[in-house]
Amino acid sequence: MTGPLFPALLDPPDRAALVFPDGALTWPELPVHAHALGAELAGSRRVAVWATPSLTSAVGIVAALLAGVPAVPLNPRAGLRELEHVIADAAPDAVLAAPGTDLPTALSSVRRLSIPRESLRRGARVDRFGTPPPDTPALVVYTSGTTGPPKGAVLSRGAIAANLDALADAWAWTADDVLVHALPLFHVHGLVLGVLGPLRRGGALRHLGTFDSEKLAGAVDAGGTLVFGVPTHYHRLAAELETDPRAAATIGRARLLVSGSAALTAVDHARLQRLTGLAVRERYGLTETLILTAARADEPPEPGTVGRPLAGTDVRLVPLDAATDDTDDTDDGLGTVEARGPALFSGYLNRPADLTADGWFRTGDVGRWTPSGALALVGRQATDLIKSGGFKLGAGEIENALLEHPAVAEVAVVGVPDDDLGERVVAYVVAAEPVAERELADHVATLLASYKRPREVRFVTELPRNDLGKLVKARLPR
């Protein structure tokens, strides 16, 4: 990557850049807002951004990027333990939030800066901060592992630019596109693809705030061309469109519907095609790798697959029984997905990254190649990762939170299939004393993000263990 992350800022077109329920900015207005704040940030090591799905949060991120300061998006729904961990781990010099935001006490030790709501003046120079080198960290995005607290994946400016350019190639994504979505801004999907994507292209984002078919139809009617969502969005959309043929016809005028972060079922794919006439494109990636594979816009998708590797990205399958790292690709069976390429993260903050000796990242996902060269994902190696509504949840983190409750003697957390969420969190608990299911769920929702709370608690007298006393989750009564 040479040149700026957002080339359109050099000669801003006179049209909308960011449209959110709380306000909108045109391309000429965007740098004015961002620069006013960026000047205050210059020289900071890292800055946290209270990442609500709002214009102010998007401006805060852009300001940090223009100032060359790595931004750490904070999940506004994060619980106490998560916020304490992220603040201690990322050690931001400041936290950016919209004026008047009531920030939790876990952030009280961090200097607070307000993101300006009003334009100060037009015509600020966009090259005021220069262009940092491509390996400069742009974002630190926290993502859950199987055990322990979330890890901060460091994403460089070059990785983000390379990935967004490869997606532009796959989806013919241009400055004429208006992206529509309702994704949160503290993960790669909503932030990198969903905000930085349209800004890199010189196009526009129309964020819905919350997702429903009426709002989506309204946004497509207003010029939206490209729609991003997680399978839970598309599952709900299909159900709503069954009784709203007008909205279905309007949404069918979009150029492309794209699903990612979890698997879209074949049933929902077929329903949406029947209702809107559009075949949803799936793409696959991780916080650490950005997007690896995608179904292209110029080819009919192969439902049940996540498309082919993006240009410049290497994806290989390592046979499940492979004992070494240097195994060749296999095209005739299942393997674990490994990836290498320009969009790989630079490592975890304060933690080693688990790459192979020759630089491959082990995703932990299991898949096979189809004859056409597309990747079909069939599952994950770790039972301790749960994908609920597109959020990756670590079973270990939820188990640790439950063990902090005095009534919990032993616990095992798993994901079970769920029509709406893909998987839902279920906790098997050996209770030390009588306790209500609701109390345990609320306890988790205080320490962690509320969507990490168990949807169901199953009380058992003991957990299945092997001869060495190790928990065997596969033997839990499902």
Report what 365 binds from ligand MCA, ligand AMP, none; CB cut-off 5-8 Å by kind. ligand AMP
Q: How far apart are CA 340 and CA 317, in angstroms?
A: 12
- By rule CB under 6 A, what string of x and - marks binding of each residue 302-341 to ligand MCA? ----------------------------------------
Which parts of 89-148 interact with ligand AMP (CB under 6 A)? 143
Report what 184 binds from ligand AMP, ligand MCA, none; CB cut-off 5-8 Å by kind. ligand MCA
Of 233-241, 258-266, 269-277, 411-419, the window that binds ligand AMP (rule: CB under 6 A) is: 258-266
In whole angstroms, how far apart are CA 255 and each of 171, 179, 210, 246, 251? 10, 10, 21, 17, 9
Query: 17: which residues sit within 8 A by CB, 6+ positions away?
Result: 25, 26, 27, 29, 30, 198, 199, 204, 205
Report what 56 binds from ligand AMP, ligand MCA, none; CB cut-off 5-8 Å by kind. none
Name residue 164's amino acid: L
SS3 (DSSP) at 372: coil
DSSP E strand stretches across 102-249: 111-114, 137-143, 151-156, 178-181, 204-207, 226-229
- Number of residues lying near ligand AMP (CB under 6 A): 19
Kindly tell me which of 250 and 289 has the beta carbon lying closer to ligand AMP: 289
Helix (H) or strand (E) holding 412: strand 408-418
Nearest Cα to Cα of residue 26 among 199, 248, 211: 199
CA 433 to chain centre: 38
Q: Does 370 bind ligand MCA (CB under 6 A)?
A: no
Kindly tell me which of 339 and 426 has the beta carbon lying closer to ligand AMP: 339
Q: How many contiguous H segments (helices) and E segments (strands) does the chain have?
A: 12, 25
Report what 377 binds from ligand MCA, ligand AMP, none; CB cut-off 5-8 Å by kind. ligand AMP
Among residues 37, 86, 286, 398, the one that binds ligand AMP under rule CB under 6 A: 286
Cβ–Cβ < 8 Å for 265, 231? yes
Q: Find the shortest distance in angstroms from Cβ 386 to ligand MCA.
A: 9
Which parts of 433-452 interact with ligand MCA (CB under 6 A)? 445, 450-451
CA 305 to chain centre: 19
Of 170-178, 181-189, 396-404, 405-413, the window that binds ligand MCA (rule: CB under 6 A) is: 181-189
Residue 229, CA atoms < 13 Å, CB-side half-sphere: 27
Among residues 26, 56, 225, 261, the one that binds ligand AMP under rule CB under 6 A: 261
Cβ–Cβ < 8 Å for 8, 27? yes
Report what 73 binds from ligand MCA, ligand AMP, none; CB cut-off 5-8 Å by kind. none
| Burial (CB count within 10 angstroms: exposed 0-12, middle 13-18, buried 19+), residue 447 | buried
Three-state SS letters, 106-120:
HHCCCEEEECCCCCC
Among residues 388, 400, 413, 447, the one that binds ligand MCA under rule CB under 6 A: 388
Kindly tell me which of 189 and 271 has the beta carbon lying closer to ligand AMP: 189
Q: How far apart are CA 450 and CA 445, in angstroms?
A: 4
Q: Find the shortest distance in angstroms from Cβ 158 to ligand AMP.
A: 19
Of 177-185, 190-198, 234-242, 280-288, the window that binds ligand AMP (rule: CB under 6 A) is: 280-288
Among residues 374, 377, 408, 449, the one that binds ligand AMP under rule CB under 6 A: 377
Which parts of 390-429 interact with ligand AMP (CB under 6 A)? 392
Contact residues toward ligand AMP (CB under 6 A) are 143, 188, 260-263, 282-287, 306, 363, 365, 377, 380, 387, 392
Contact residues toward ligand MCA (CB under 6 A) are 183-184, 187-190, 210-211, 230, 232-233, 260-261, 285-287, 388-391, 421, 445, 450-451
